[in-house]
Structure 1
């Protein structure tokens, strides 16, 4: 399965619509869900627990950056581009090859792990 890093994050009045690829793999006895475009992960004893753990990490990241007004800064530091259209901001993640080159964890997953990619569509309100 080819990897896609074309997810987008849109904001509109405190609502964040998130759609991005998640890389799922197993390490030892744990399942891991990793979002390379945010450098966030979650883990658990099952795939479902790992997704729930990831969603908690994502929620905390979004809540923290929303409260501090630092979402733009955090995402641009991760290589995202910001495009504004009227009152809606769209954040575009770095391309796949850039993510692999700049993120040693992601590079190792691609080279050494069996993995699958899924896409989750979420709406988070803050």
Structure 2
């Protein structure tokens, strides 16, 4: 895994699914929090790099679990992703304005000093 981008979409490739995600990192009390609004996942650390590393681990655990339980597409739908079927070549994340109903994300945008990181992730099929 590497950096995370807000054109959140899944595209099938020969050896897996390529996904871009955005992660917002902000400081809260003495910790740095990383948050991915399109999946409603977070990580934390003592500095920005630890928070980003924590998010990478969180995402790996999330995708491993969802793929092993065969619940990834259902969970993406529950998070507002546009998923029409398993064989679809593109699965789109909710648009930015659709994520603004998420109170945690809105709080970050309105009340926190944050940095946004864009990272592509490849998920094996």
Distance (Å, rounded) in 2 between the aligned partners of 1:25 and 1:64:
27
* Structure having the larger proportion of residues in strand: 1
Residue 42 (structure 2) aligns with: 41
Distance (Å, rounded) in 1 between the aligned partners of 2:32 and 2:75:
26
Distance (Å, rounded) in 2 between the aligned partners of 1:89 and 1:30:
39
TM-score (norm 2): 0.84
| Residues 7-26 of structure 1 mapped to structure 2, 5 A cutoff | 7-12=8-13, 15-26=16-27
- Structure 2 residues not aligned, in runs of 5+: none
Residue 104 (structure 2) aligns with: 105
Q: CA deviation at 1:14?
A: 6.6
Q: CA deviation at 1:88?
A: 5.8
Q: Could you say what the CA RMSD is over the residues aligned between the two structures, in angstroms?
A: 2.2
Q: How many residues align?
A: 121
Go from structure 1 to structure 2 and tell me whether the alpha carbon gap of 1:14 and 1:84 turns closer, same or farther (over 3 Å shift).
farther
- Structure 1 residues not aligned, in runs of 5+: none
Question: CA-to-partner distance for each residue in 1:4-38, whole Å, 9 max, x for gaps?
Answer: 73221234477232211111111111111111000
Distance (Å, rounded) in 2 between the aligned partners of 1:65 and 1:12:
19
Distance (Å, rounded) in 1 between the aligned partners of 2:15 and 2:121:
14
Q: Conserved in 1, the CA contact under 8 Å of 2:6 and 2:20?
A: no
Distance (Å, rounded) in 2 between the aligned partners of 1:113 and 1:26:
8
